[in-house]
Amino acid sequence: MFERFGRWVRRNASAALLKTGGAGQGLIEYALILVLVAIIVIVIVAVFGSAVGNLYSNVINAI
């Protein structure tokens, strides 16, 4: 999964670098923000994933 995402980011960032003018710079900035948000989400899921899974299991068992 992470390899596909990395290829997608590299491909889109490379395409943005080929553009001239300010629009390419803005696209790069948006791509970097997207990568940062994705990394933060991955870390949060890695840290709290099992706790959330246990919470859902407890709720389902209580029902």
Q: What is the DSSP string of 32-45?
A: HHHHHHHHHHHHHH
- HSE, side-chain direction, 13 A CA sphere, residue 33: 6
pLDDT the model gives residue 35? 95
Instruction: Supply 30's token pair.
Output: 């948006």
Give me the pLDDT at residue 5, please. 75
Higher pLDDT, 1 or 35: 35
Q: Which domain holds residue 25?
A: 2-62
Quote the number of domains for the chain: 1
- Cα gap 46→22, rounded to integer Å: 36
Question: Where does the pLDDT of residue 1 fall: very low under 50, low under 70, confident under 90, or very high at 90 and above?
Answer: low
Predicted confidence (pLDDT) per residue in 18-57, tens digit = 555 555 677 888 999 999 999 998 898 888 888 888 888 8
